[in-house]
Structure 1
Amino acid sequence: MKKLIVPFVFMCVLIIGACSNSTKDQAAGDANKEVESGTITYQSENGPIEVPAQPKRVVVLTGNAGDLISLGINIVGVDEWSKSSPLFKDQLEDVATVSDEDLEKIIELKPDLIIGGSDNNNINRMKKIAPTVTYTYNKVDYLTQHLEIGKLVNKEKEAQDWIDDFKNRATAVGNKIKEKVGENSTVTVMESYDKEIGILGNSWGRGTEVLYQAMGLKMPEKVQEMTSKEGYYMISTEVLPDYVEDYLVVSKYNDQDNSYQETELFKEMPAVKNDHVIEVDGNAFMFNDSITLDYQLKHFEEQFLK
């Protein structure tokens, strides 16, 4: 009886394996047929959508222009904030500046893919122009967002390769910085807007993802508490010292009022007196795409370890 059971089980395994392989082969075949037909199905946050397998003319209305550039995707229309980044100046020099209100201009660009934010206007109307995929800011972490862009434009492997490399580089730099400044040293990131100051959390661009997530540096407890809900917190210049301890990163715009830096209140902060202030170009540091993240990592490495 036992001798009969063994062959029977073996046959079942073979049958199940064959069925499994058949299912995999069919799925692979379906995927290949999609690519051959010029489209793939992307699983967006709003459900599956058919998009070009090799998009040639992309309009991007989010902060993901750098992700697309690094993956070799041609952009024909871009939002004004991305256009203002000096990191993309050469690549976007001849690219049209558009918004979610410029439907006629977008039509003229003849896009085969539109990438927008979930809060954009006219999304349904844009869908009539070209396949339109939207993302909700901070719904996924910054590295997953890059991977999603890679999946969307059929370059998932390239996106994952960059992610793996970036994580390794950032961990190494973070360890060097913590060894120099101390494991418990804190960093505050801020921007000035007219007469107010924005204190930024751990996922609001401006280098916050690199500092806090990738390199593992700490933020003051008060900053963590006040930014935990919205991702940022607006304060008056008078209370800035309450949010700054060891190091301060100032995301700076030349067209903003930066006179607070000339006040005694600012100059007397320990971070300022100890020359622990790192000023960065707000336009260059705004986003958290792959090109910007690489730039931020290199800048922080130079500034903290100089």
Structure 2
Amino acid sequence: MPPTPLDQTDPLADFHAREITLDDVSKRVHVAGSGPAVIVMTEMPGISPHVARFSRWVRDAGFTVYMPSLFGRDGVVATAEEGMQVMQRACVSAEFRAFANKKGPNQASPVTQWLRALARLAHGECQGPGVGAIGMCFTGNFALTMMLEPSMLAPVLSQPSLPFDDPAGLEIGPDELTAVQQRLQREDLSVLAYRFEGDRYCKAERFAAYSAALGDRFVARVLPDTAASTTGLSPFFEKVVASPHSVVTAHLIDEAGQPTVAARDEILDFFRERLLSPGLRDHQRLGDSN
């Protein structure tokens, strides 16, 4: 199947759209591939062709992708106006905590409970040692909270942007953070995280706070702004985001030697190391090189 141009609606025809009900909440989840499960959580304003392209890279690396529809219209290239409306609705939704709790400690978005249940389901369906997950932008923090689910082994935080009004906020409760800290140390696990240096939504303060909380278990990658694509951006990214932001989707430059491609490949290798047996890892890397 030839790839859909990134500036056109992606029908997601190579994914199986499933309605999955967990904890009495139903969501559409686009599933593709085989092998251990990786949950790809979309950035604002929804599952764009760029997000779908990244999911296909994960699928082709030897994994079953679970791509839940959390907001927006699946597969479309949103206008700036539609993207803003999606973001505004998400900001006031009970599922998300887009802003810091000024009267108390940080708290995780309630939707992470559903995502943890999805990780359990995906692990049961796909087997393997465990599950990987990547969150981006609005969902960027979620993979860390999902570490409260024992099957989660490979969390990736790409430009984690919540809470919007606290650059150093972590979007996770203190007791949950302690539990994740202890698990990372006990099981010798790590968290990968990515941002562009000049990102307006995920600033240096957030990575500093994660580093202070997680120590050397938090592996941060900060890319120069010059590594971000400036062409082919959707109206939402040009007019609303308006800064280098999406490391493995809209701002990725799909050319050999580019820092964003190196970031993508590091993420795929991270999933391989945590989720595939040595024989399968070698097989997949050989396939990538051909």
Which bin holds the TM-score, normalised by the shorter protein?
A: under 0.3
The alignment's TM-score, normalised by the length of structure 2, stands at 0.28
Structure showing greater Rg = 1
TM-score, normalized by length of structure 1?
Answer: 0.27
- Give the structure with the larger helix fraction: 1
